[in-house]
Structure 1
Amino acid sequence: MHRAAFAHAGLNGTYDALRVAPADLRSAVADLRRPGVLGANLSLPHKEAALPLLDSLSEAARAIGAVNTIVHRDGALHGDNTDAPGLSAALTDAGYDWPDGQDVIVLGAGGAARAAVHALLGAGQRVWIVNRTLERAQAVAAHWNSPHVQAVSAHAAPWEAAALVVNASSAGLNDPDQTPLDAAFLTRLSAGALMYDMVYKPAETRMMREARAAGLSAENGLGMLAHQARLAFRAWTGADVPVSVFLNALQADAPAGDQG
């Protein structure tokens, strides 16, 4: 999709995916300081580990405690997090109307969950973090030290009151039949609730299917991926490419039968 963005903006550039082992992260980040390199995106498990390797951080990256975008300028590396605004834009596209003080349940306790909490808390939502390991969820909640962010077990979460559930865990990413949550919890949500799964491949996860079976709206993470990519591309190049360019490229690259 970034290659499509380069073409749309009339810029000469390329975007390559590289698999980097945790032990090689320091050297890979240092390599971004080479002339001609605009920056990089980071995925699991590097979003938090890269923080001390950068020269500066955006307010969002510092608040979230995770980086997904690195911008190279004159030998210096700046860390940013476009996941949070990307999620906000994707939720708006999915029809979430951001009622003030609404209960939202976030599943997971990693960098993606931190980005979700940052976006939701900043929009005036009450966030309940649910994770298989409660201690990890408590650590995320403690990062914000806010009465509007609480870590709870799945059984203690306010399902009946929640208007939105965000899956920010990796469940379903490698195995489409894996789910972070028993489907019985989804049946406790009101009919107007939205289940947003950050997983975008496969296009439909088991959790999405179970949410729809419970009468809920369900969306995958393709919109978030496109929106965060647009913001990263703008940070690297200064070019403001429409999000539709990224979405169209993602959909064109999806294997047959993986359109959702």
Structure 2
Amino acid sequence: MTAQDASALSLQAFLFADPAAHSLSPHMHRAAFQSAGLRGDYTAVRVPAPDLAAAVAGLRRPGVLGANLSLPHKEAALPLLDDLTPAARAIGAVNTIIHRGGRLTGENTDAPGLLEDLREHWPHGEGVPGAVVVLGAGGAARAGVYTALTLLGRDVVVVNRTPERARQLVASWPGAGAWGRLEAADASSVPWTDVALVINASSAGLNNPEQTPLDAAYLRRLPPGALVYDMVYAPPETRLMADARAAGLRAANGLGMLAQQARLAFTAWTGRDVPVTVFREALDSPRSGERK
């Protein structure tokens, strides 16, 4: 689709998630349409798991750019698509579906979006030696593993509340060991003094300020210069982040990642590279919401 074609159409994009009502993504993408001078809208739609196939099929309609996917659809959508980008194939999860000419391509903008936000909050991170611990074993965790293992070139340890799911993620990873070492472990067996970065990619703490995915005692073992990054952004200061700060560590939530991945998705749909500041400004008054 050319820029001229896009300008002439009333375009549509969606978020498919369950739940979806409190998503912040519509605010960002509507602002991006306006900034780009395009006639378009973005709608968050609650799609229960049994309805995903029908919702994805509906993206093939003219004027539909595609959709973002959130819990619980990032892995389930894979067999419903015509193509996957190399990153989406390697990660094994899709957060963005791109519609072109009746064909649907799965992309993952979570990983590069996470990388961009890590660079902002951890500017000297490359100089901090150590492994990365990823908390969780779902689609967001797979993006975290890809970012740490492939893009950062770090050894990665996956820790999950259900250890078997962490082991399944590791066993299914394509080319594990090509960049760094990938393993699953219980929190009690992680060498925390050698960990440079902790990424929470689980839903622990989402809209629950008292919940944390990791005991604070483990955080106190992390070396100076380590970063604790929580993909959860509602509440904006999670218990995990507060515990990290109390241990003298840097901590950040996932609001910047949300903006960065949205910018990349919008570019993939429209060919317009809207500045990330447009997306961030749309989040200036963040409300209680789901991770996109």
Bin of the TM-score, shorter chain as denominator length: over 0.9
Report if aligned partners of 2:129, 2:196 keep a CA contact under 8 Å in 1.
no
1:63 deviates by: 0.6
Q: Structure 1 residues 141, 100: closer, same or farther in 2, change over 3 A?
A: farther
1:20 aligned residue: 47
**Bigger mean CA deviation after superposition, 77-86 or 169-178:** 169-178
2:71 aligned residue: 44
| CA–CA separation in structure 2 for the residues paired with 1:13 and 1:176 | 36
Q: Matched residue of 2:43: which SS?
A: coil
The answer to whether structure 1 residue 127 and structure 2 residue 156 are counterparts is yes
**Unmatched segments (≥5 aa) in structure 1:** none
2:165 aligned residue: 136
1:21 deviates by: 0.4
Q: Matched residue of 1:17: which SS?
A: strand
2:136 aligned residue: 108
Question: 1:213 aligned to 243, 246, 249, which one?
Answer: 246
Superposed, which structure 2 residues align to 1:164-203 within 5 Å? Answer: 164-203=197-236
1:239 aligned residue: 272
**What residue identity is the alignment partner of 1:16?**
T
Q: Matched residue of 2:79: which SS?
A: helix
Question: 1:249 aligned to 271, 277, 282, which one?
Answer: 282
Q: Matched residue of 1:106: which SS?
A: strand
1:105 deviates by: 0.8
1:77 aligned residue: 104
Report if aligned partners of 2:128, 2:226 keep a CA contact under 8 Å in 1.
no
1:99 deviates by: 4.2
| CA–CA separation in structure 2 for the residues paired with 1:129 and 1:234 | 31
**What residue identity is the alignment partner of 1:33?**
R
1:160 aligned residue: 193
Q: Matched residue of 1:229: which SS?
A: helix
| CA–CA separation in structure 2 for the residues paired with 1:205 and 1:236 | 32
Report if aligned partners of 1:100, 1:124 keep a CA contact under 8 Å in 2.
no
1:119 deviates by: 1.1
1:101 deviates by: 6.6
Q: Percent identity?
A: 64
The answer to whether structure 1 residue 65 and structure 2 residue 92 are counterparts is yes
| CA–CA separation in structure 2 for the residues paired with 1:100 and 1:31 | 46
Q: Could you state the TM-score of these two structures normalised by the residue count of structure 2?
A: 0.85
| CA–CA separation in structure 2 for the residues paired with 1:102 and 1:187 | 15
**What residue identity is the alignment partner of 1:7?**
Q
Q: Could you state the TM-score of these two structures normalised by the residue count of structure 1?
A: 0.95
Q: Matched residue of 1:190: which SS?
A: coil
**What residue identity is the alignment partner of 1:125?**
R
Q: How many residues align?
A: 255
2:255 aligned residue: 222
1:202 deviates by: 1.3
